[in-house]
Structure 1
Amino acid sequence: MDRDGEKVEMFQVGPCQDVYQFGFLIGKRFSKLIKTRLATDLILHNQLLPFANNTLQSQSFLQTLFDNNQRKFPRYWDELLGTAAGSAVPLLHILLINFRKEILPFIPKEGAKSSSADTLDDCSDVLVVGESMAIAAHNEDANVALVGHTYLIKGILPDGMFFVGYTYAGELPSCAFGFNSHGLAFTLDSVPPAEDEIVAGGIGRNFISRDILEATCIEDAISRIRSSEISVGHCYNLIETSTRRILNVETASRKRDSVFEVGEPPFFHANMYLHLQINQVHDENSISRQKRAAALPKKTKEDFLSLLGDADDRKYPIYMTGPLLHTLCTAVFDLDEQTLSIIKGNPKKGDVSHVFSIKRCHGDHPNAI
């Protein structure tokens, strides 16, 4: 949701002569939004930038991280170079916000100026594939710095394939949710591996989710996830309209993953590992949301929206309104209707800002319904 409750802007880009131009056009179009996001991002200013400019050791750490990701995904790296140039902001700032989740675990805790700014994001998903409905509903929760600093990218590739991704200003599409013309969609949930489960210099989650936007099917998406030596764990909810399937994929460093196929019983996922056996940080926020979701009805789409709009627990609500975490929007993927609906404000109110067809297409460009 925009800061003033306005509709999130969509920008269509492509086909382009190269990925640098693709990123450049996005950066140019949203230059003001990217600059204001960077100017107000406390995590960037209090932690990431001081770390980047601190010691030769931290600079060596960052160079290894950057080199490994550029080597693995040269196209998406060039896309980021274009975004930085197009928005006229320092490349280092763009890189730091895109790799924030891979960098923050390695910043000495005593060196952080503001522990209150540590909270990055928390998302909630409720998923079901039953006889009467197949739904993936997702709250996109993020740090206050992201309020009013998001946009939708409709990217058309040279081969005619397209994707739509909900995008944080200055970052690759999409670290939130999206879909493509193959009828493949996803939502993402952060998970908290313990420090001994995190590997320095691994592949960034933003690069992996950008790669999934170009996956041709759900198996290809899993293959793309597994092909990367991820640094920090993540959770992917993969959605395929043509086969009416939803897979919950939890990942960790050293190429570990667990795949759970969603079925008739509604499946709620917050920000803890549920089926991949791994040492993880105790997250009271996530545990509280998990318990609250278990107690709420989950029989209809309306129940799902009511659940994601629940704020009865004032300390750890499912629907977040600050001061640090905000629910930016709610995304509802209906596999039977083959639509993505984006809801602004509390999803209980059903204020839909965008509706997209997510049918598998053959060369047609995406259009909002």
Structure 2
Amino acid sequence: MATSFPVLHTKGGYFDVGYSIGSTFQSRIQTYLESSALFKETLLPFYDTREGRDLVETIMTLTEKNFPMYIDEVQGTAQGAGLPYEMLFVNNMLMEIYFGYSKNTPRLTREDLGCSTVYINRPDVKVIGHNEDCEDLIKHLGYVVDATIIENDVVEEKFTSLCYPGGLPGASLGFNYHGLTFSINTVVAPTVGVTTPTNYLTRAMLRASNIDEVKDIITNAGNGISTGCNINVGSVVDTSTQWSVEVVPRVSESKLSVQEIHESDDPEKSTYFHMNEYRHMNIKVETAARSKARLDRAMSLPVPTCARDARNILGDVKNLMHPIFRTVRPTDGAATACTGIFDLLNKRLDIYFDNPSMDIEPLLTFNMESSSRR
């Protein structure tokens, strides 16, 4: 049973916050890059080719113009961790290289795509529950960052985010001081663009104060996004609606579809599920069997009406080959690193590092009300 997970509270400019993350978690970041099969067998070999290096440098130049402050953050993390900046830039291009640029056959496949999300929007229960599925290393080497970004004596951003080692905040689950909550599901789009990496846009999303700003940031007019994704958004300020934002790369700007989950007394209308396929955008791609199995299983269970029901669904292991709560096994190369339960009415985020359907307390709890009012 999990007994600890580190949380860093940090304040300063973009570079300073990055440096604090890198220096605090230097050992975790270095161990992850030395141990990750994805990094060692797909990302690094790709970057070590002439074609790969040229492509990464092209994207790096584009990103430096598009999001210079987050480049500063990555450079700070790299310096703090004692690693080359280019190594961490590549580390933040996992989905682009893995599903688009690399010609190597990865050890993991599309079937190992991760993350499952449950929405409940009733008058008395407003919950978004999320399983963070990834390499099993993340459970042991990840960390949470609670950051206040200050530039020229002005608070630019405040957020709390679960982070992959050496990865930008925003790529998994978190919330900001505007009261917005976020989690991310990977989806495979028909193409992968040579433009701003997705991790930089989900990082930028942490500064949004409402759903319209989320859409503007992810659309990224003039540059777009490189890979497909699904962003699950809630608000502790206006709890009447929850949003499932599906994104697909397109020339010059991202294409979005927003499914609104409105408050309802009807359990069927107040519930929604999202795994790793496009559900409300008309995109023709092959659906991974593992994702389909998780969605089918979730929809076959009793309709959830409370946080405990969401935890039971996210902890379900009935399908032995493709369970919703995942552990590494011969049929699965990934695992559920943690489960986040966003309770929007009570302004609370609980994070479980063991199966959330068990009778256990969360290992981490964050008060989103205090964050939204600072």
TM norm structure 2? 0.90
Structure 1 residues 51 and 87: CA distance shift in structure 2, 3 A? same
Output the CA distance in 2 between the equivalents of 1:5 and 1:28. Answer: 24
The one-letter amino acid paired with 1:45 is K
Deviations 1:37-73 (Å, cap 9, x if unpaired)? 0010111111111111112x22221111111111110
Q: CA deviation at 1:103?
A: 1.6
Alignment of 1:1-369 (within 5 A): 5-14=2-11, 16=12, 18-55=13-50, 57-109=51-103, 111-112=104-105, 114-116=106-108, 121-158=113-150, 159-160=154-155, 161-194=157-190, 197-199=191-193, 201-227=194-220, 229-244=224-239, 245-254=241-250, 255-263=254-262, 264=264, 265=269, 266-297=271-302, 298-323=304-329, 324-349=333-358, 350-359=360-369, 364=374
Output the CA distance in 2 between the equivalents of 1:133 and 1:29. Answer: 37
Deviations 1:307-356 (Å, cap 9, x if unpaired)? 10001111110001113211111111111111111122000123311222
> 1:168–1:174: 8 Å Cα contact kept in structure 2?
no
> 2:42–2:102: 8 Å Cα contact kept in structure 1?
no
Output the CA distance in 1 between the equivalents of 2:314 and 2:29. Answer: 28
**Could you tell which deviates more after superposition, 164-173 or 275-284?**
275-284
1:262 is paired with a residue whose SS is strand
Q: Percent identity?
A: 26
> 2:111–2:288: 8 Å Cα contact kept in structure 1?
no
Deviations 1:131-187 (Å, cap 9, x if unpaired)? 231110001111223231110101012234521000111011121011111111111
Output the CA distance in 1 between the equivalents of 2:37 and 2:24. Answer: 24
Q: CA deviation at 1:108?
A: 4.7
Output the CA distance in 2 between the equivalents of 1:156 and 1:300. Answer: 32
The one-letter amino acid paired with 1:73 is F
**Could you tell which deviates more after superposition, 201-210 or 154-163?**
154-163
Q: CA deviation at 1:242?
A: 1.1
Aligned to 1:367: none
> 1:191–1:234: 8 Å Cα contact kept in structure 2?
yes
Output the CA distance in 2 between the equivalents of 1:301 and 1:24. Answer: 37
The one-letter amino acid paired with 1:189 is N
> 2:120–2:305: 8 Å Cα contact kept in structure 1?
no
Aligned residues: 353
Deviations 1:66-104 (Å, cap 9, x if unpaired)? 111111100001100111110012222211111111122
Deviations 1:3-43 (Å, cap 9, x if unpaired)? x72321100111x2x31121111100000000110010111
Output the CA distance in 2 between the equivalents of 1:139 and 1:115. Answer: 22
> 1:203–1:230: 8 Å Cα contact kept in structure 2?
yes
> 1:7–1:353: 8 Å Cα contact kept in structure 2?
yes
Q: CA deviation at 1:202?
A: 1.6
Report the RMSD for the aligned CA atoms in angstroms.
1.8
> 1:141–1:325: 8 Å Cα contact kept in structure 2?
yes
> 2:131–2:339: 8 Å Cα contact kept in structure 1?
yes
> 1:232–1:252: 8 Å Cα contact kept in structure 2?
yes
